[in-house]
Each structure stands twice: as C-alpha cells, then as structure tokens.
Structure 1
C-alpha cells in the first residue's frame, strides 16, 4: 500500500461523507486511512492539498485566485 492509495481513501471519505469504517474494501483499511488523515490534518497537509487542488481547478476554468474572470 502506498500513500496514493491512502490519499484516495481520505478523498473518498471527504467527498462522500461516509463513516470511515464504510470505506470501500478496495481501499486500504479504514483504520490506516483515518490514522493518516488525522496526522495530515494536524500537520496542515490536508489544507495544503485542498488549496493546491482549488488553485488548479480555478486555473483550469481560467480564473485567478481573487475571483476575477
């Protein structure tokens, strides 16, 4: 199992809002995913990922970070 699989589990839970224990079986064990989520959240990594993805999406739709078209 690699970090990408764990990140996929975190993103799945954040997107769908399911209980951690209800993650699909093709993802790593929920206890592993949740442990990493807690560590990454405390370190600010989840917010950094969110900000990067948000910036990439805004660039894709050709908007800047200040809401101007």
Structure 2
C-alpha cells in the first residue's frame, strides 16, 4: 500500500463530510484516485457492511440489548 490506510480513511471521511467531487479532495490527503480506488474496492468487497454490522452489535451490547 503506497499510502497509509489511516490517510485513505481520512480521505474517505473528508469526502463523506464535504459531499464534494473526488477530484476536490485536499492536497494534503492521498491523491483522489487512490482514495476512490480503496473506497470502491471496499464497497465491492462488502467491507462497509461488515463495519456497520460490528458497530451496530457493539452499540446494542453497550445498551444491554441482544447483539
């Protein structure tokens, strides 16, 4: 991986918050092509659904509910 995973996630987070075009990501983040590549790859692999499921389980357990 040419760019640290944390920086890729930062780029995706920025894109989600700003609701901007990929090409408008700030230059202190990895190139937009790299950020988009990983976002698309993780989406196709179902990673975002996995993350959401784990977070949902943890939150339900924190609330004393069944996961």
After superposing the two structures, state which structure 1 stretch, 8-17 or 42-51, moved more: 42-51
Query: 2:51 aligned with 1:30, yes or no?
Result: no
Q: RMSD over aligned Cα, in angstroms?
A: 2.2
Q: Distance in 2 between matches of 1:12 and 1:55?
A: 25
Which residue of 2 is the match for residue 5 of structure 1?
Answer: 7
Q: Distance in 1 between matches of 2:27 and 2:4?
A: 16
Which residue of 1 is the match for residue 23 of structure 2?
Answer: 21
**What's the CA shift for 1:53?**
4.7
Distance 1:40 1:54, change over 3 A: same
Deviations 1:10-48 (A, max 9, x none): 111112211000011111000000011100000111233
Which residue of 1 is the match for residue 50 of structure 2?
Answer: 48
Distance 1:55 1:2, change over 3 A: same
Q: How many pairs does the alignment contain?
A: 63
Instruction: Normalising by structure 2, report the TM-score.
Output: 0.71
